Amino acid sequence: MEILTRVAEMKERAREIVREGSSIGVVPTMGYLHDGHMSLIRRARRENEVCVATIFVNPTQFGPNEDLDKYPRDPDADRAKCMEAGVDFLFTPSPEDIYPPGYQTYVTVEDLSGPLCGASRPTHFRGVATIVLKLFNICLATRAYFGLKDYQQFQVIRTMARDLNLETQVIGLPTVRESDGLAMSSRNAYLSPDQRKQALCLNEALEEASALMKSGEKDPRKYLTAMEDRIIREPQARIDYLNLVDPESLEELKEVNGRGLAAIAVFIGATRLIDNRILSP
Ligand code: AMP
């Protein structure tokens, strides 16, 4: 495995690979890798001649009072995991190289960036779309892999790729969970043992919603109430949002007819966690 830290270097290596006619599978991450990330890396490894993992804690997707400075990092463990998974290139650029002085270009995917996480993190998806487009261009990604745990992010990126006629094929893979159902997340590291137990309310709330869908419930308010009731049982849980939306447009459902996306964000203490589930009858 080669570790590259410079944009120019990564781009040059990617050009060589493309010249040879090989495909490049890219997995963008912010590091502190867990099995969710590794599922993306394994898939990229299988489907492409060359596999690139990127680790970059992207400042432009964090709001002013968010956890950029304390975001968990473990470069040695990340390196070992990537090596073991057969990653060919680990790209870990610096913020100064990605956003040099004078940097001023951002990508906005308009409607999809507004609801859900966009409501409480107004500049988040602009930062995400921008860094992902830059990484596609730097790594000359044939395919890129994203987790459906960040469902809205996936829709934003997929739409950006479509709207801007990108060459990169965007692939979404299922959420990997701990054995008790908690969605894996680097931010789970912030939780105390007691908070870790309380965090199960996210997945369990989604299960309540799933059961309502199976029972044929048509009133979206019933779903929201059921999810809320489950979450507020936990003393340290504070709801950022919970919603039932159309899985493509992310617009709120007025009536449940067919598929829906239940999406939630909950603070457990100071840690904001998200989860979602596609519900189908
Ligand atoms: P992050 O490092 O949190 O920015 O995540 C990097 C990529 O891994 C994103 O595409 C995430 O959606 C994906 N990811 C994070 N957690 C999970 C998970 N539990 N299961 C599957 N993919 C995940």
pLDDT in tens, 93-131: 999 999 999 999 999 999 999 999 999 999 999 999 999
Residues of the chain with pLDDT under 50: none
pTM: 0.98
Q: What whole-number distance in Å separates Cα of residue 41 and Cα of residue 38?
A: 5
- Which pLDDT score, from 0 to 100, does residue 205 have? 98
Catalogue the E-assigned strands of 87-129.
Answer: 89-91
- Which pLDDT score, from 0 to 100, does residue 86 have? 98
Strands 89-91 and 143-147: unpaired
Closest ligand 1 atom to residue 37 Cα is 8
- Which pLDDT score, from 0 to 100, does residue 143 have? 99
User: Could you tell me the distance, in angstroms and rounded to a whole number, from the CA of residue 218 to the centre of ligand 1?
Assistant: 31
**For 234, phi and psi rounded to 5 degrees?**
-90, 125
Helix axes of 124-139 and 7-19: crossing angle, nearest 10 degrees = 50
Strand order across the beta sheet in which 260-268 lies: 237-245, 260-268, 271-279
- Which pLDDT score, from 0 to 100, does residue 77 have? 98
Q: What whole-number distance in Å separates Cα of residue 271 and Cα of residue 276?
A: 17
Q: Ligand 1, from 43, 150, 152, 170: best to mutate by most atoms within 8 Å of Cβ?
A: 150
- Which pLDDT score, from 0 to 100, does residue 96 have? 98
- pLDDT-above-70 percentage for the chain: 100
Closest ligand 1 atom to residue 185 Cα is 16
Which residue is closest in CA terms to ligand 1's atom 7?
29
